Structure 1
Amino acid sequence: MPRWLRLTLIVLSSATLLLVAVALIAVHVLLQPERITAMLQKQARDAGLELSLSSPATPALFPRPALELEGITLSAQNANMPILLAARGTLALPWRTLVHGDTVISQMRIDSPRVDLDALQSWLDDLPSGQASVPSSIPSIDAGVHITRGSLVRGNQMLLGDVELDAGRLAARHPFPLTITAKDAQGIPTQLRLSVTPDIKGGTLVLQNIGLHLAHSTTLNLHLAGNARWRGAADASAQLSGKLDHANTGVYDVAIELTPADQSNPLMLALKLDGPDNHADLHIPPLALASWWSQLDHDDGPRLAVPPGSGHADIATIHAGDISVEGLTIEAGDNVPASSTSTAPPPAAAKPSPATKPAPARKSP
């Protein structure tokens, strides 16, 4: 190789290394990972959470500006059990971050997150009570959220594994797609697909063109479509209808209606199911049902009570593990007639009629 060519290659390679070093320094200065990490931690503290990393966030430039996070832990303040543990995460940032310095997350990727349902429930229970209000705007995520190899546990019990989540762009008046796949504790796959167009109009969160598809193994498929509105607190309404296809029993018509609470009635969920050998028309207060459900897992032991709600259901068969029930009929509510064995007065003692009165005894001679 000629000397001049060798010198040229040395100069070019040195210049390239220098440019790469300058670029890395510039990216670190412009992205300011310490500032963005501090911003995320402040947002977590405002929600009563603590966010920590096993090592400082590192910036990346290609294929787009991003921050790499290692050893993510999210816990409730002063809690011993973390809500979320994740091996790593990536926060993708728009190119304008390098110029304007504004902190906008365009995409979030999380690898191997582990969510503990008990820790999450404990944090939710400790939140201050108050009337939830509608946000002033729809939060924007340009390129969505991606979760891989996730799991949902309760203590040491696995509830869902192999969780994969893909969410598209989130913006007002734009269709928002969400897909979740997972396997339950028995390894049976489940998939949820949701599409909805969110918007805020006059202080009301409007969810239009809702499309929901739930598939469990190859046995059950549920399709629902409709719309929903939320004006804050328990002022929510929704109308969804569709089909439930069960491989073993047939196809059912499903209708769900959520009516808002008022001065005399709580938030109420009406569920109708009509199909071969199974019929249901139930009215359930979801907030009271959630409270009833939480009492089944009370710290002092399960507190058994009749679940809230009213309505009628005829169910041909139920299979739950080793238990099978056939011909089940449920009546609930104030208008249900009580059982005759519990309300009818005991029968009066029978009195002999004159026609059956025994003759007086005859004396023996």
Structure 2
Amino acid sequence: MTIPRPLRLLLIALASIIGCVVLVVVVELYLLLQPDRFTAMLKQQAHEAGLQLTLSSPASPTLFPRPALQLEGITLTASNAGANAMPILLAANGQLALPWNTVFGHEVVISRMQINSPRVDLNALQAWLMNLPPQSATVPQQIPRIATGVRIRNGSVVQNNSEWLSNVSLDTGRLAPGQAFWVSLSAKETDGTPLNWQFSSVPSIVDGALKLDAIDIHVSDTSATTLHLAGRARWMGSTDASMQLQGKFHLAGEGDYDAAIVLAPAAQNKPLLLHLKLLGADNHIDLELPPLLLAQWWNQLASPQGPKLSTPPGNGQIDMAKLDLGKVHIEGLSVQTGDAMPAAAASTAPAATTPVAPPQ
């Protein structure tokens, strides 16, 4: 069947018009993504947290199969770090998927965040946390929304230029206030032992406080060592934080322990305190540690300019019937520190003194 020439010309004209309309729509949507807008937003949020975000090239938008921004060469560094300081995070690339209403100028919401091959430096991260001014650690006004979660693949965690965790993969569920949020992480330790960690909680911001209710934590490895904790946490900003977690710790070949972790907020003349308890048949650990002072002590111990040896801050005691650390086997270990140390003999019985005659 031969299509008449006038009809054929009409179909060609209609197809051309439709093609032009589609092209215009695609170009308009491409422009609506405004990569500079989202890049500036990310950099501003990083700056407010005392961080500097840089990209090896400007963010590039994509429309198919869904609107997204491609990020290349991601570097996250502390704002006050020197020129030769190690970045807190390096990543090959990442992607921010965006919902259509965000594309059309509504509230900025991220549908999904994906980061590939990130490298996290624990020393740089710790230095940034220690140098944060107290007033900068404030509770956000609202919980950021991530519609379908975060995905990380082929990551690593290093400390002192040595790999601590490798092959790190992380997935999360939807992040929204008042709804259950979950995180699933898997990695390999330095000896190749697989590690699995699951966390879930219900986040919300109430009366200026960030609350994490219904916390549930599961940690396990291939040696059948497991940890299960449940509880809640609350943060009012800076060092005003509290947490109560209780559960069970099963150590392969050793049995079960009752476990408890309590975080007490800082008060007048009293720092933020972390209370750790493990109670087993033959082993007992009861420690009260100031996390911020402990981090400072560890930084001094691992200082590249030379370690500064001192007693770690904290109070408590450790009683272990036996302890195996690699090829080292210890039996009958008992350690007491801080206020838990017994009083010295000289303090329990006053020393004899020679009477001194009163002045004339």
CA RMSD of aligned residues (A): 3.1
Equivalent residue runs for 1:159-308 within 5 Å: 159-308=164-313
**Pair 1:21–1:54, CA change in 2 (3 A):** farther
Alignment deviations for residues 168-208 of structure 1 (CA, whole Å, 9 cap, x no partner): 11122111101111111221111111111112222222211
Matched, 1:38 2:40: yes
Q: Aligned residue for 1:311?
A: 316
Name the SS of the counterpart of 1:100 in structure 2.
coil
Alignment deviations for residues 63-113 of structure 1 (CA, whole Å, 9 cap, x no partner): 321111222222334533332222221111111123335432222111111
Unaligned runs of 5+ in 1: 347-365
Equivalent residue runs for 1:149-168 within 5 Å: 149-154=154-159, 156-168=161-173
Name the SS of the counterpart of 2:157 in structure 1.
strand
Unaligned runs of 5+ in 2: 352-360
Matched, 1:137 2:142: yes
| In structure 1, C-alpha distance between the alignment counterparts of 2:279 and 2:175, rounded to whole Å | 35
**Pair 1:156–1:285, CA change in 2 (3 A):** closer
Q: Aligned residue for 1:355?
A: none
Amino acid at match of 2:58: P
Cα deviation for residue 273 of structure 1 reads: 1.4
Cα deviation for residue 298 of structure 1 reads: 2.1
| In structure 1, C-alpha distance between the alignment counterparts of 2:297 and 2:137, rounded to whole Å | 21
Q: Aligned residue for 1:70?
A: 72
Alignment deviations for residues 269-328 of structure 1 (CA, whole Å, 9 cap, x no partner): 222211132112222222222222222112431112222222232112222233221110
Cα deviation for residue 133 of structure 1 reads: 3.0
Percent of residue pairs bearing the same amino acid type: 52
Name the SS of the counterpart of 1:43 in structure 2.
helix
Amino acid at match of 1:199: S
| In structure 1, C-alpha distance between the alignment counterparts of 2:217 and 2:322, rounded to whole Å | 26
Equivalent residue runs for 1:307-346 within 5 Å: 307-334=312-339, 336-338=341-343
| In structure 1, C-alpha distance between the alignment counterparts of 2:194 and 2:55, rounded to whole Å | 32
Q: Aligned residue for 1:350?
A: none
Name the SS of the counterpart of 2:227 in structure 1.
strand
- Judge conservation of contact 2:316–2:339 (CA < 8 Å) in 1: no
| In structure 1, C-alpha distance between the alignment counterparts of 2:35 and 2:269, rounded to whole Å | 52
- Judge conservation of contact 1:110–1:148 (CA < 8 Å) in 2: yes
Q: Aligned residue for 2:83?
A: 79
| In structure 1, C-alpha distance between the alignment counterparts of 2:194 and 2:290, rounded to whole Å | 30
| In structure 1, C-alpha distance between the alignment counterparts of 2:262 and 2:51, rounded to whole Å | 35
- Judge conservation of contact 2:30–2:63 (CA < 8 Å) in 1: no
Cα deviation for residue 231 of structure 1 reads: 2.4
Cα deviation for residue 160 of structure 1 reads: 1.1
Amino acid at match of 1:203: G
Cα deviation for residue 163 of structure 1 reads: 0.7
Which has more radius of gyration? 1
Q: TM-score by structure 1 length?
A: 0.83
**Pair 1:258–1:50, CA change in 2 (3 A):** closer
- Judge conservation of contact 2:109–2:145 (CA < 8 Å) in 1: no
Cα deviation for residue 240 of structure 1 reads: 1.1
Moved more, 114-123 or 124-133: 124-133
- Judge conservation of contact 1:27–1:60 (CA < 8 Å) in 2: no
Q: TM-score by structure 2 length?
A: 0.84
| In structure 1, C-alpha distance between the alignment counterparts of 2:273 and 2:109, rounded to whole Å | 39
- Judge conservation of contact 1:30–1:101 (CA < 8 Å) in 2: no
Name the SS of the counterpart of 1:334 in structure 2.
helix
Q: Aligned residue for 2:355?
A: none
Cα deviation for residue 263 of structure 1 reads: 2.2
**Pair 1:335–1:319, CA change in 2 (3 A):** closer
Amino acid at match of 1:36: F
Amino acid at match of 2:211: V
Moved more, 280-289 or 84-93: 280-289
Q: Aligned residue for 1:352?
A: none
Q: Aligned residue for 2:356?
A: none
Q: Aligned residue for 2:126?
A: 121
Amino acid at match of 2:63: L
**Pair 1:122–1:241, CA change in 2 (3 A):** closer
Alignment deviations for residues 7-47 of structure 1 (CA, whole Å, 9 cap, x no partner): 79988986776565434312221111122222222333343
